[in-house]
Amino acid sequence: MTKAALLLAPALFLIGGSALAQTPPPAPPAAAQPQDGAGGLVVDVEGGVSAPMPIAIPTMPTAAVVETAAGTTDVLGRQLSDIIANDLRNSGLFTPIPPAQLRTVSVPEVTAPAFDYWSGTGAQSLVQGYVRANGDGTLTVGCYLYDVTARTELTRQGFVVPPAEWRRAGHKCADSIYARLTGEGPYFDSRVIYVSETGPKAHRIKRLAIMDQDGANHRFLTNGQSIVLTPRFAPNQQSIVYMSYLGNRPSIYVYDIGSGKQRLVVQNASLTFAPRFSPDGRYILFSMAQNGNTDIYRVSSQGGAPQRLTDSPGIDTGGSYSPDGSRIVFESDRSGGQQIYVMNADGSNQHRISFGGGRYATPVWSPRGDLIAFTRIAGSFRIGTMSPSGGGEKLLTNQWQDEGPSWSPNGRVITFYRSGRGSSGKADLWMVDLTGRVERKIPTPLDGSDPAWGPLRP
Amino acid sequence: MKAKTLMLAATALVALAGCSKKRPEMLPPAPGVAPTVGDANAGYGDQGNGAATPGSNADFVRSVQSNTINFGLDQYDIDPTARAILDSQVEWLTRYPNVSVTVEGHCDERGTREYNLALGDRRANAAKNYLVARGLDASRIRTISYGKERPVALGSDEGSWAQNRRAVTVVLDR
């Protein structure tokens, strides 16, 4: 969808259903401002010193206070504004003005902002919206973005959500604002799967857990009886591939999120690990150790006989597909220590791309295709990025032990886990953006490791 | 004892809601779920009681030089110290030809998770290969890698890391 289309023909998106792009427009139409989508207000995501943009996000009004399964529409309006403000603040690119400092907005005002007032708040941009309970039990959330200085509308969207998914309307609204002002792809309406940890360091209890990208809707998927490691989403987000010590046989499993059922991927193997789906979901890339030698294989995600892709006498592991599925980045110690290599999807043309000091591990290909994220081991563990040809290495974090990067759906943010030293050293989930300046801990109920960021939700 | 362990395994199976129907086929021999897994040093607790059952893991731990060999950083070679320890294990295992063992491979925290799983597998297999070269039947020896998941020393210092780079031989009690 182009920006011009958004400006001229506001559409209603159905969330949690099968279709989108419903009519009519979300609110009484305002005159669309003819504007060049590339001009006006822009947030610089690459630049060096630009301060976060001040943005006003007043509480979303409701024309009629109605009780819904998600709560009353007036309370939902406040909560949705908070979700949008949190998402934008967490990106590091925006400074939301505290809602307590902002006036109350009426429903008619949503499409006709009081620009004289807003320009006095210091906000450069303004997000207004409304909440409406529909007769069929769903909620409609309108979302409007204005340039306060130019006094123009920048985007408008409406979202229809079932009550159970009301938070997604806030994330979708924040995504449309982020995308419009940065020119980058959206990423707030997405989930993270990770390993929740608790207990003493010598005997950590590990459980699979899934949550929204902002930590909401947290839920455990396994009960901690077996060690579980390295979960990763299927592209359709309906299943997860991960490693479990179930029955004391460390192996990779595919876990169906909806049914809670799982199946062993490779039968009769001594040790299978480091699984990851191909971008089309047809294959699972994984590592298998046999008699002390580890190589990379791929297997149909339906099961069957694995196909071997590497045959070096060293440890080849940590494979990750390029977004077009044509290449695989992996790590190997065939040169003496862990380094990053790229090969074609059939295993041909294996060549090394990392040559710096220390060791390089856990390479993951960005969903944009332009970068490889990795863990660099040189005394400490640091998260970094390099191009698929090995150039432009950049280290983003600098703590004792940061490991296991995973990309946001738009390739702008990396989640990873950070471990502390010693017997009380625990692991937590973190995010860092590509500049390395915006770094943030993700709140989780217990400790956390092995985060994997899922794709944008449909 | 065996019946009890089997029951535990069955309970665990039921407790994992939503298991696939294939799960029972994937279950290993029941002893694998015993509390000694990943915690082989628990066997030391039997030392001094003087009542270890012959052929048991407790007896093994009392009788051999050590149930554990150690490795250098990112290494998996069997050094002379480790050879002497494994030789003492071979001697005991030769006395109990019906006993099977699991060799656990472990790593320190300075490697990444997936690499350490592979490195732990290397270490467990290095120990297994030595035991087999000394005449033990390979079918008696299973290997498992715990990577950096089950350290015995909890510090983040050279001494702790050296202890954690290890292969531990555990007798499967029946």
The string of pLDDT tens digits covering residues A422-438 is: 988 899 999 999 999 99
- DSSP assigned state of A106: -
Partner residue opposite A403 with nearest CB, options B16, B112, B152: B112
Question: Distance (Å, rounded) from C-alpha A288 to C-alpha B118?
Answer: 8
Number of DSSP helices (H) and strands (E) in chain B, helices first: 6, 4
What average pLDDT does the segment A301-311 reach? 95
Beta strands in B46-115 (DSSP E): 68-70, 101-106
Residues A79 and A175 reside in one and the same domain = yes
Tell whether A108 and A200 lie within a shared domain: no
The reply to whether A146 and A194 lie within a common domain is no
- pLDDT tens, position by position, B9-38: 443 333 333 333 333 334 343 333 333 444
What's the rounded Cα separation, in Å, for the pair A67 and A172?
23
Distance from the B73 Cα atom to the nearest Cα atom in chain A, whole angstroms? 12
Structural domain of A57: 3-182
Which of A156, A182, A208 represents a domain boundary (last residue)? A182
Measured between CA atoms, the residue of chain B closest to residue A318 is B114
Average pLDDT over residues A68-96: 96
Mean pLDDT confidence for A391-414? 97
Q: pLDDT value at position A316? A: 98
| Domain identity same for A254 and A383 | yes
Higher pLDDT, B19 or A440: A440
On whether the B36-171 domain is CATH 3.30.1300.10, my answer is no
Residue A194 sits in the same domain as residue A61: no
- Tell me how far CA of residue B172 lies from CA of A398, B59, B142, B143, B144, in angstroms: 44, 12, 10, 12, 13
The verdict on A157 and A219 lying in the same domain is no
Which residue of B lies nearest to A260 if distances are taken between CA atoms?
B18
The pLDDT confidence band at residue B3, using thresholds 50, 70 and 90, is very low
* Higher-scoring residue by pLDDT: A303, A230: A230
H or E stretch at A357: none
Query: What residues of chain B lie within 8 A of the CB of A222, using their CB?
Result: 16
Report the candidate in B31, B113, B102 with the shortest Cα–Cα distance to residue B67.
B102
CB atoms within 10 A of CB B75: 14
Residues of chain B contacting residue A200, judged by C-beta atoms under 8 Å apart: 154
Residues B110, A202: C-beta atoms closer than 8 Å: no
- Say whether A292 and B121 touch across the interface (CB within 8 A): yes
Cβ within 8 Å, pair B26-A249: yes
Is A268 in the same domain as A362? yes
Can you give the pLDDT at residue A394? Answer: 97
Give the minimum alpha-carbon distance from B162 to chain A in angstroms, rounded to a whole number: 14
Chain B closest-CA separation from residue A376 CA (Å): 10
Q: Looking at residue A204, which CATH number applies to its domain?
A: 2.120.10.30
A403 touches chain B (CB under 8 A): yes
Ranking A7-11, A174-178, A193-197, B52-56 by mean pLDDT, the lowest is A7-11
Q: Chain A contacts of B117, Cβ < 8 Å? A: 229, 250, 271, 273-274, 287, 289, 317
Same domain, residue pair A177 and A297: no
Of A204, A264, A337, the CB nearest to B22: A264
Q: What per-residue confidence (pLDDT) applies to A103?
A: 93
Partner B contacted by A447 (CB < 8 A)? no
Q: How confident is the model at residue A15 (pLDDT cuts 50, 70, 90)?
A: confident
Residues in chain A closer than 8 A to B150 (CB atoms): 202-203
What distance in Å separates the CA atoms of residue A316 and residue A166, rounded to the nearest whole number? 44
pTM for this model (two decimals): 0.87
Q: Predicted confidence band at A38 (pLDDT cuts at 50, 70, 90)?
A: very low
Q: Are A205 and A115 contained in the same domain?
A: no
Asked if B114's CB is within 8 angstroms of A287's CB, the reply is: yes
Interface touch B115/A263, C-beta < 8 Å: no
pLDDT reported for residue B78: 97
Beta-carbon separation of B112 and A404 below 8 A:
yes
pLDDT at res. A368: 97
Return the structure tokens found at A78.
């406040």
Residue in B with minimal Cα distance to A206: B149
Q: Which A residues 168-227 touch B at CB under 8 Å?
A: 200-204, 222-223, 225, 227
Q: Are A43 and A158 in contact (CB under 8 A)?
A: no
Q: How far is B151 from chain A (nearest CA, A)?
A: 5
Q: Is A245 helix (H, G, I), strand (E, B) or coil?
A: coil
Helix (H) or strand (E) holding A51: none
DSSP state, A33?
P
Q: What is the separation of C-alpha A35 from the centre of its chain, rounded to a whole number of angstroms?
A: 31
Higher model confidence: residue B82 or residue B31? B82
Residue that the structure tokens 């045959």 belong to: A311
Give the long-range contacts of residues A114-119, CB within 8 A, separation 24 or more: A115/A146, A115/A148, A115/A151, A118/A56, A118/A146, A118/A148, A119/A148, A119/A149
Region A30-36: mean pLDDT is 39
Q: Which of A150, A182, A214 is the last residue of a domain?
A: A182
Q: Name every residue whose Cβ is closer than 8 Å to that of residue B11 and which is 6 or more positions away in sequence.
A: none
What's the mean pLDDT in B84-94?
98
From the list B26, B115, B154, the residue facing A331 with the nearest CB is: B115
A425 interaction partners in chain B (CB closer than 8 Å): 156
Query: CATH number of the domain that A166 lies in?
Result: 3.40.50.10070
What would the mean pLDDT of A100-123 be, rounded to a whole number? 95
A315 near B CB under 8 A:
yes
| Nearest chain B Cα distance for residue A403, angstroms | 7
Does residue A210 share a domain with residue A88? Answer: no
pLDDT digits (tens, 9 = 90+) for B147-172: 999 999 999 999 999 999 999 999 99
pLDDT at A33 over 80: no
Average pLDDT over residues A242-255: 96
Q: Is the Cβ pair A361, B115 closer than 8 Å?
A: yes
Q: Where are the domains of chain B?
A: 1-34, 36-171
Element (H, E) at A59: none
Q: Assign A46 a pLDDT band (cuts: 50, 70, 90).
A: low
Average pLDDT over residues B92-113: 97
Q: Which of A182, A209, A231 is the endpoint of a domain?
A: A182
Q: How many domains does chain A have?
A: 2
* Residue in the block written with tokens 């789906």: A277
Give the three-state DSSP class for A125: strand
CB-based contact A419 B109, cutoff 8 Å: yes
| Nearest residue on chain A to B157, alpha-carbon basis | A422
CB contact under 8 A, B117 and A361: no
How many angstroms away from the CA of A91 is the closest CA of chain B? 28
pLDDT score of A29 more than 80: no
* Amino acid making up residue A168: R
Cβ atoms B104, B156 nearer than 8 A: no
Q: A416: which strand partners?
A: A430
Q: Are A213 and A144 found together in one domain?
A: no
* Local confidence band at B50 (pLDDT 50, 70, 90 cut-offs): low
Q: Quick one: closest CA in B to A405, which residue?
A: B112
Residues A292 and A426 in one domain: yes
A423 contacts in chain B (CB < 8 Å): 154-155
| Confidence (pLDDT) at B52 | 87
